[in-house]
Amino acid sequence: MTRMDFKQQLEKYVNIINEYLDRCVTEKELPEKNLYSAMRYSLMAGGKRLRPVLALAVCDMLGGDLEEVLPFACAVEMIHTYSLIHDDLPAMDNDDFRRGRPTNHKVYGEALAILAGDGLLNLAFETMLESIIKSGANEKKARAAAIIAKASGANGMISGQVIDLESEGKQVDTEILNRMHRLKTGALIKAPVVAAGVLCGACEEDIKRLDEFSEYLGLAFQIKDDILDVEGNTEKLGKKVGSDADNNKSTYVTIYGLQKSKEILSDVTNKAVHCLEKFEKNADFLRSLAVYLLEREN
């Protein structure tokens, strides 16, 4: 797949996702209108849309129906967005910028930012349940929603965030670091990939392939994040560089150093790509995506 073909396909996915998300949260002339504004502010702030793109790409790879996968793909993006809003709060990472714009609480205040986050998490489940009901309680859809729910909860992302918080200013070992990343970032990268597989009726072996692919991809994503926090460009990143060091966080770079981290990143990306061999040409986009993530500047 040429770089241009990849970019066009990526843009197509992102447009489908943005159009869907745009319809999910609309401005309303109600007493609570600021809630909808605050939810939209972060949900429509752009970003790579990596998680929902992964779901749609897996769907296409398996020959599934994008319309059926879209609500679940976008639910994951809602969950991702809520987690960013809450992570940025003064009581958490206390970040002022995100995706090149002031963070939610900087614009709407802390109270509304907390509630906008709650609203987006809740909306993710409203969206999935609506889709489940529309299809007469389709079992694959219910299973996909349960996979996403588990990945975003105390067995997944939220525990990763807790480990991250409690590791600040401490030396943590690689076991804890890996657990943190697997939960905080990995779980919500794996969920859309595996959920899309379930939605498209993939066999157990293919689900296992998708599981391994997304495990490596999530790890690569996190290592790249750690590298970008050291040598990235604030303007391109849309957020402050060096915040890990400021917050005394253990990262791949603090543990392995920059050079070794880049080697691990390259190796892990290769392993991810390798998991997709069986899907041959149909996995071209996902392979290109893995390389794109390796080379990204934000």
Residues lying near a copy of itself in the complex (CB under 8 A) are found at 25, 30-32, 34-36, 39, 82, 86, 89, 91-92, 109-112, 114-115, 117-119, 121-123, 125-126, 129-130, 132-133, 136-139, 141-143, 145-146, 149-150, 152-154, 158-163, 165-166, 176, 179-180, 183
Q: Which is nearer to a copy of itself, 92 or 245 (CB)?
A: 92
Alpha carbon of 47 to those of 140, 198, 238, 239, 283: distances in Å? Answer: 29, 26, 10, 12, 23
Q: How far apart are CA 38 and CA 212, in angstroms?
A: 36
Min separation Cβ 254 and a copy of itself, Å? 18
Q: Which is nearer to a copy of itself, 246 or 277 (CB)?
A: 246
Q: Which is nearer to a copy of itself, 101 or 143 (CB)?
A: 143
Q: Which is nearer to a copy of itself, 148 or 268 (CB)?
A: 148
What residue type is 223 in one-letter code?
I
Q: How far apart are CA 81 and CA 89, in angstroms?
A: 13
46 three-state secondary structure: coil
Min separation Cβ 65 and a copy of itself, Å? 18
Q: Which residues contact 272 (CB under 8 A, 6 or more apart)?
A: 213, 214, 216, 217, 220, 290
Min separation Cβ 85 and a copy of itself, Å? 10
Q: How far apart are CA 252 and CA 263, in angstroms?
A: 11
Min separation Cβ 92 and a copy of itself, Å? 5
Min separation Cβ 205 and a copy of itself, Å? 21
Q: Count CB-CB contacts under 10 A for residue 161.
A: 18
